[in-house]
Amino acid sequence: MFFSLLDELTILLRQTLKRTESRPRTSFVAWPSFSKMSDCSASSHGDILTKHCETKGREKNAKAKKKRKKSKKPIVEISSRKDRRIITEYHTLNKTIDSVRKNPSIHREDKAAQIAALEAKKEKIGGINAYQKASKLGEARHGSFNSAKWILKQLRAHNVCANRTEDEKLRLLDVGALDNNYKKHAKWIQCTPIDLNPQSNEVIKADFLKLDDKKYDVVVLSLVVNFEGDIRKRGDMLRKCPKLVVDKGYLFIVFPRPCLDNSRYLNEELFVSMLESLGFYVCSCHSSKKLSFFMFRRTRQVRVKSFPKKILRKGGNHNNFAIVL
């Protein structure tokens, strides 16, 4: 009797032990990535370590998230520096190509070779696509700034939006548009965004200098005149404006500040005189830390006048930005 009871007890104990051993250890299945953790993989205390691994896992995840959050800032800064480098290099290469093209002392064949090498450098940094993407990213990164905000503010301040209806929208030509910046105002603005190399389906591929002389109520040239490397073509861009802006219509031009504030050949007074000769007067202007904004109105007749390249600021520390009309 005693022995049969002992036998039964032994069998029961074996069965219990067997069941305990065959219990699944979910911790290893749930976090395969932790299988290399010595404290987990070496354990035979399934449940306790499952909890331990859970906590450790969460701690690790939280740490990883923190790390990811911390590392965000430098990455943005590095890429924004990269964007600026692309923009600056692209402008410099454009200017160099232009000066090589015009240099009479360079032999024709050498000229072609030098220009090809410079064009190849432009392609190496990603070409016009990289340049435009960098401009767009820069715009988004710096609080979604774009010239459209100032332009809309001025249009409202000068009551240009008054009495505009669905049938009589303001016809606005946005030259060098990275996107349709006036889409939100489609109720009163009919925007035609154009660019030599559109980065968005909303933008029409067109060269401003080759547009038919169709009239617009507003023409916007934001950071476009300075984009053109040829000083005469910059003048052609300004000359094109009276052909496209209706009488009493508006013209907006935006420049990086150094183009007017620190150029050897151009200052605000000369730039305004150029526009006056083309029939425009300044109705509003503004300077931000980096940009100069102008709003002109077309009221006068064009009085053709030429503006050759002349030194206005002497001395070393000036840039060579110029416009020849």
Ligand X SMILES: C[S@@+](CC[C@H](N)C(=O)[O-])C[C@H]1O[C@@H](n2cnc3c(N)ncnc32)[C@H](O)[C@@H]1O
- Percent helix, strand, coil in the chain, to 5, is 50, 15, 30
Annotate each residue in 116-145 with x if it binds ligand X (CB under 6 A) or - if it does not, as one string.
----------------x--x---x------
Phi, psi angle pair for 285, to nearest 5°: -150, 160
Number of residues that bind ligand X (CB under 6 A): 21
Contact between 243 and 213 under an 8 Å Cβ cutoff? The reply is yes
Q: Is 197 in the site for ligand X (CB under 6 A)?
A: yes
Closer residue to ligand X, CB minimum distance, 46 or 229: 229
Q: How far is the CB of 264 from ligand X (least distance, A)?
A: 22
Region of residue 216 (left: phi > 0; alpha: psi -120 to 50; beta: else) = beta
Among 17, 30, 116, 209, binds ligand X (CB under 6 A): 209
Q: How far is the CB of 65 from ligand X (least distance, A)?
A: 35
**Strand pairing partners for 190?**
171
CA–chain centroid gap for 205, Å, is 18
Alpha-carbon span 112 to 230, nearest angstrom: 17
Alpha-carbon span 166 to 185, nearest angstrom: 11
DSSP for residue 302? P
Closer residue to ligand X, CB minimum distance, 49 or 83: 83
Q: Is 172 in the site for ligand X (CB under 6 A)?
A: no
Closer residue to ligand X, CB minimum distance, 110 or 207: 207
Among 228, 234, 253, 297, binds ligand X (CB under 6 A): 228
Annotate each residue in 74-113 with x if it binds ligand X (CB under 6 A) or - if it does not, as one string.
----------------------------------------
Helices assigned H by DSSP within 142-214: 147-157
DSSP for residue 74? H
Q: How far is the CB of 237 from ligand X (least distance, A)?
A: 7
Closer residue to ligand X, CB minimum distance, 61 or 197: 197
Residues in the chain, overall count: 325
102, 103, 109, 111: CA torsion to nearest 10: -70
Closer residue to ligand X, CB minimum distance, 150 or 280: 150
Closer residue to ligand X, CB minimum distance, 57 or 198: 198
Q: Is 180 in the site for ligand X (CB under 6 A)?
A: no
Which residues lie near ligand X (CB under 6 A)? 132, 135, 139, 146-147, 175-178, 194-197, 207-209, 222-224, 227-228
